Amino acid sequence: MSTMNAPEVAVTITSAAAVEVQKFMVAENVTPEVGGLRVSVQPGGCSGFKYSLLIEDKAAEDDTILSQGAFNVFVDPFSMQYLNGVVIDYVTSMQGSGFTFKNPNASGGCGCGSSFSA
């Protein structure tokens, strides 16, 4: 496993998103010492790729682990190439609330905000 000493990817989680992640971790009884937030990219979506966020009990053997202070972020090797520089935020608006992704590497996207092309 990679550690914080040699991060290969930079993922930023805003304070608003971090508060929501911590709420989900408490609700799912996941301890921040071992568990964390999995940020991944999967084939699919209307633009070619889609983002996925999951609360996980522990990291997989080949994950890169990024410390966010109060919890860890797990990134798998496939997703790493698409996530460098991504900012994950949590917004609340009249249309609803949810996580948003700002990806400087995306060459295109769509209206849903959770799908992109690279």
Question: In the structure, what pLDDT confidence band is assigned to residue 14 with cuts at 50, 70 and 90?
Answer: very high
64 neighbors 2 (Cβ within 8 angstroms): yes
| Tokens read off for 91 | 């917004």
Q: Domain spanning 11-106: which CATH class is it, in words? A: mainly beta
Domain ranges of the chain: 11-106
CA nearest to 78, candidates 55, 62, 101, 66: 62
Beta strands in the chain (DSSP E): 11-13, 36-43, 49-56, 64-67, 72-75, 86-93, 96-102, 108-109, 115-117
Contact (CB, 8 A) for 116 and 103: yes
pLDDT digits (tens, 9 = 90+) for 25-44: 999 999 999 999 999 998 87
